[in-house]
Structure 1
């Protein structure tokens, strides 16, 4: 016979077994963020400062590098996103605006910045698959944006993917990995 009292919590209830990958409430633990995901988060914060406060890239960069956790980010990817999005803002907006159902001024600065990141990565970071760009931007919008902002970001970036990454999108469509973007 086993001593069941050794398996009881201080409240007298059976102790909860520790399960790998789950929090104490039974929810799944979030996977550790990649250095590139962290770079996107810091770039998003910087782009928000640019859009809302009008801060220049150099000031944003100096401030951001001193933030806690920056050392865990891919600083080269962060640089490319922050400086690239600010430098190419007009071109990025020119691609985004035709797909909007409202004026850009009515778009949340978070969603605006996330769309910049997505379009910039699709154009300039060809080592990142388009589906990864899309998923990362959706996650950014979920974490930092409004309630349904991620759906809006998804629609815009999914609408741009066939023109920005046509070969990849066509290959995914042909293999059945992706359905064509809704018109």
Structure 2
């Protein structure tokens, strides 16, 4: 797990939160992050992929989450919602990144930015999403550990 990608995820959570709350354009928010040096130490291309990829695939991402959350996705706390959306995006699109890394990153983001105990909720939801969208990877890992 690269620190630059971790930092990109942190910035993406903040930027998606801002987008969800303000309704500002993605371009304007991204410019702010670039101009204000918020992306220092972050992999800028990964930030951009997450920040633009989540809104572009929002319907599919929210559908993936909706199967496992206990309320409508729009009713989830905005910070947790941004974290879950990033995690679901990565689980669906970034197959080269191990699912456990994505879940761990989501848990750490929730510990950094979410309400107390929110990391448990994020962990549970992303684990369920991974079981559906990464079933082959999970089965291969289990089979390998039984050898």
Do both proteins adopt the same fold according to a TM-score greater than 0.5, normalized to the shorter chain?
Answer: yes
Tell me what 1:174 maps to.
143
Give 1 or 2 for the bigger CA radius of gyration.
1
Tell me how far 1:106 sits from its aligned partner: 2.8
1:141 aligns with 2:138: no
Higher relative contact order at CA 8 Å, sep ≥6: structure 1 or structure 2?
2
User: Which stretches of structure 1, 4 residues or longer, exceed 3 Å deviation after superposition?
Assistant: none
Q: Which runs of 5+ in 2 are unaligned?
A: none
The structure richer in helix per residue is: 2
Distance 1:71 1:79 in 2: 14
Tell me what 2:100 maps to.
131
1:84 aligns with 2:53: yes
TM-score w.r.t. length of structure 2: 0.92
SS in 1 for 2:54: helix
Tell me how far 1:66 sits from its aligned partner: 2.1
Distance 1:176 1:156 in 2: 24
Q: Could you tell me whether the CA contact under 8 Å between 2:11 and 2:38 is conserved in 1?
A: no
Tell me what 1:95 maps to.
64
Distance 1:176 1:111 in 2: 32
Distance 1:128 1:87 in 2: 20
TM-score w.r.t. length of structure 1: 0.75
1:120 aligns with 2:89: yes
Q: Which runs of 5+ in 1 are unaligned?
A: 1-32, 178-183
Q: Could you tell me whether the CA contact under 8 Å between 1:134 and 1:157 is conserved in 2?
A: yes
Tell me how far 1:105 sits from its aligned partner: 3.3
